[in-house]
Amino acid sequence: SQQGEEDPQALSIQEGENATMNCSYKTSINNLQWYRQNSGRGLVHLILIRSNEREKHSGRLRVTLDTSKKSSSLLITASRAADTASYFCATENVSGGSYIPTFGRGTSLIVHP
């Protein structure tokens, strides 16, 4: 079942601008992860934020988590053309004692040079 849902579905910005993507989920989580996918490639892990954290940074990435609203946001500052990709949030479902990641539909980001 779909747990995380990203919005917007598509985002088009100019190089140097900031890009913000949001993720909403339905059930309680232990952590939330963001991934990036270049066109026609596999996903690459970007950052993990735990449920007891409110904000986390990694380079030009800033992730926030609001567990009361069941939402997270990914901010890419000073975007570059190379940031063009799809971005997914993933939350975990527990099944048979295993943690099974569930991905949203993703946000397609295009950064124009």
Residues near other proteins (CB under 8 A) = 2, 30-31, 33, 35, 40-45, 48, 50, 88, 90, 92, 94-96, 98-106, 108
Beta carbon of residue 89, minimum distance to other proteins (angstroms, whole number): 10
Collapsing DSSP to helix, strand or coil, 81 comes out as helix
Task: Please give the structure tokens belonging to residue 30.
Answer: 């232990």
- Strand 55-58: give its sheet, edge to edge: 5-7, 19-24, 71-76, 61-66, 55-58
- How far apart are CB 92 and other proteins at their closest, in Å? 5
Taking the least distance from each CB to other proteins, the nearer of 15 and 37 is: 37
